[in-house]
Each structure stands twice: as structure tokens, then as C-alpha cells.
Amino acid sequence: MNEEKYLLFDQYLQGELLDEARLDFEKQLSENLELASEFEVFKEVQIQLEAKFGFETDRKAFVANLKTISNQHFKGKPKVISLKPWAYLVAASVVLLLGLFLFNPSSKPGFEEYNQYENAYFTERSESVDTLKQAETAFNAKNYKAAIPLFEAILKENKTAEIQYFYGISLLENNQIKQAETVFNEIKSGNSIYKNKAIYGLALAKLKQKDYKGCKAILLTIPPDYEDYEKVQELLGKLD
């Protein structure tokens, strides 16, 4: 394995190459399809690492372990190999990702582990029935971007905690985090059956921002009679 090549990939992704070296590398990518394929695989691995860990130390570990893996698996081996180089990169990356997962027990939980929501089943009303049905369908299909303007239209005529809650979730999933927090806080200030759901939504908003301290503080305010309190306890356990 040509580990220098993958270190070059990393330097490019981190913006560490000088202009001349960067332009030369981009020219190579445009002219060499195999190199471009290897680079895409490497970039995907880096994205996975960032998504799971999000820390600079883990990127450094990736670079260091890439050298180690290369030396352990390919040192002294013939230069002529049956598999293409990118296949070895995939194998090495899997080893690395598994290693970081197994030996990093202190890693924090991710938003994607806890963003499972109940489906929306709205009671039909005399006003905006069609729009309400469209919003329900879009939300349940996880098409949150499409659901947002539909919920906004409904809320202009019928502002209920139920509609607000599903609107807030849609905003959160569409990365409109501040707007989602505003909606959840408004529900939280009331006494509807969606109050604790909204508080949990606020915790998820902090989790999505990797504000683990803020997430924990909010979770601790949710009472034990909350219907999904087991999830609250599970998340608290992972945050400790």
C-alpha cells in the first residue's frame, strides 16, 4: 500500500497543501480515474470518522494507524498484487474504524441513534384537511423539508401543541435547530401532553449539536412518568 498517497489525500482534505501542490493534485484526479476512485473511498472514510467522533485527535489517529496498518499488512510483500490499491484501502479502513469503535468506549452517543419518532396521525378537521393530510404523509415519509411549509400553513389557522411538535421535529431534522428550539420551548411553557416530548426534543437538539452537557442537563428535567423514559435513561447512561 502506498501510504504516502493516502497521507496526501488527507493533507488535501484538510487544506494543508500549498497552491501549486493542490493544483497538481487536482489535475491528477481529473486525469487518473483509478486515483480519483481511491480518493473518493478515502474521503468517505474520513467523513465516517468525523461523523462518529468529530475530534481532531481521531484524525491524527487515522493518519498514524494508516501507516501502521500499511506496514503490518504489506511490509515485505511483493509489489505485484492481485487486488487494486483502493480495495486494500477499504480493508484497512474497516480495520481502523472497528479499532476506533472498540477501543474508544468513552465515545459519546450520536443524534442518529435517538432520532426515532412516532408517526403523525392527525384527526381530520373541517379546515385545511388536505394540507393536514399532506403534512402527515410528508412527515411519516421522513420528507421533513416538504412537511415544514405545510405545517406552517396549518399553524396560521390552527395552532395546537400537536402540530407544533411535529413541526419542531421537522425543523430539527432539516437542521433548522434554533427555530426548532423556539418551537419546543413554546410547547414546554404550556401544559399539553406534548410538553415532555418537546423537552426531549430540546435534548435531541443539543445532542445534534454535540452539546453533551446541555443535553444531559435537559434530560434530567424530564419526569419518570414520561412515556419514553427508558430512552431518556439509556441516553443519560451513555452521556455519563
Residue 141: pLDDT over 90: yes
Condensed to tens digits (0 to 9), the pLDDT of residues 47-103 reads 665 555 554 555 555 556 555 555 554 444 444 334 444 445 555 555 555 555 444
Q: Place 12 in a pLDDT band, splitting at 50, 70 and 90.
A: confident
> Residue 165 is placed in which grid cell?
411538535
Domain ranges of the chain: 3-102, 111-239
pLDDT value, residue 126: 47
Entry pTM: 0.58
- DSSP-assigned states of every residue in the chain: --HHHHHHHHHHHTT-S-HHHHHHHHHHHHH-HHHHHHHHHHHHHHHHHHHHT--HHHHHHHHHHHHHHHHHHHTT--S--SS-HHHHHHHHHHHHHHHHHHT-TTPPP-GGGT---PPP-PPP-SSSHHHHHHHHHHHHTT-HHHHHHHHHHHHHH---HHHHHHHHHHHHHTT-HHHHHHHHHHHHTS-STTHHHHHHHHHHHHHHTT-HHHHHHHHTTS-TTSTTHHHHHHHHHHH-
User: Higher confidence at residue 192 or residue 60?
Assistant: 192
Residue 1: pLDDT over 50: no
Residue 222: pLDDT over 90: yes
The arithmetic mean of pLDDT across residues 190-208, rounded, is 96
The domain over range 111-239 is classified in CATH as 1.25.40.10: yes
